[in-house]
Amino acid sequence: MTTDQLKFMANFPGNQTDIKIGKDGMRITLDVPLIEMPAALPLIKMTECVLAVTVEPHVKRDAQ
């Protein structure tokens, strides 16, 4: 991971505004838990950037 990449856990809020599709594109809303905020806060500096987005589901592993 480079300094220009951010990695943090997030989820959809679970309401009708999670994903909105309109005539100009799509808007996606994510909730970031407090524990993940330090990793996500640098997004504030990226508000003027075009982002390359990759999404992968988190697979929770059972504790053994």
Task: Give the residue extent of every domain in the chain.
Answer: 1-57
| Residues 7-63: tens digit of each pLDDT | 999 999 988 889 999 999 999 999 999 999 999 999 999 999 999 999 999 988 776
For the chain, helix (H) and strand (E) counts, in that order, are 1, 2
Backbone angles phi, psi at 25, to 5 degrees: 150, -150
State if pTM tops 0.85: no
What's the pLDDT at 4?
79
